[in-house]
Amino acid sequence: MGKNILVITGSPRKNGNSEMLADAFIKGAQSAGHETSKFEAAFKKINGCLACDKCWSADRACAAGDEFSKAEPLLEKADMIVFAFPLYWFSFPAQIKAFIDKLYAYLKTDAKRPLKIKSSAMLIAAGDENISVLDGIKKSFGFISSYMKWDNLGTLEAIGINVEGEIKETDYLAKAEEFGKQIISN
């Protein structure tokens, strides 16, 4: 049976490399019978977690009521979460990090609508040609995934890509489509 896959994008470039990775992944996942949705975190106003501990005090996960609340219904029906973004400073772009910080609400024991996400993956575009620049973020995402009890299905590492849209000249988009196709239903 197909899964419900939520793809969170994090590049401020509308036709950027990681956006194209996201779209190729989605194409592959849809062709394999999965249902997908895309949330463009870079174009939403999402602040960092305020640690107010007022999660769920309004009828939403985050009491702050910024545009993270638009992602909540998508998160709550997802079986899998995929983050597609450019590597910034060897790490997540701020927009993606702010999104991840807000997942705190779903760890609360009194979460009104707990997540049912079972697996995760990343699609990353990076300018550097040295693959080891991704070591830190992969380690960090591994910890995040195990803390969230997500089965981390891996990272598509598109390295040596800088100019907007340059990824079209590589085979990374075919790889992303294949990655989407091969997501196993469980």
Residues 6+ apart with CB under 8 A from 133: 87, 90, 126, 159
Residues in 16-75 at the binding interface with ligand FMN, rule: CB under 6 A: 16-19
Cα angle, residue 145 at apex, residues 132 and 11 outer, rounded to 5°? 60
Residues in 137-166 at the binding interface with ligand FMN, rule: CB under 6 A: 161-162, 164
Block residue for tokens 């219904």? 73
Interface stretch with ligand FMN, choices 59-67, 84-92, 112-120, 144-152 (CB under 6 A): 84-92
> What totals of helices (H) and strands (E) does the chain contain, helices first?
5, 5
- Residue 140 CB, nearest approach to ligand FMN (Å): 13
Kind and range of the H or E element at 147? helix 135-147
Residues in 108-137 at the binding interface with ligand FMN, rule: CB under 6 A: 125-128, 133
Dig out the tokens for 87 from the structure.
């590597």
Q: What residue number has its CB nearest to ligand FMN?
A: 16
Among 2, 13, 27, 32, binds ligand FMN (CB under 6 A): 13
Q: Which residues bind ligand FMN (CB under 6 A)?
A: 11, 13, 16-19, 86-90, 125-128, 133, 161-162, 164
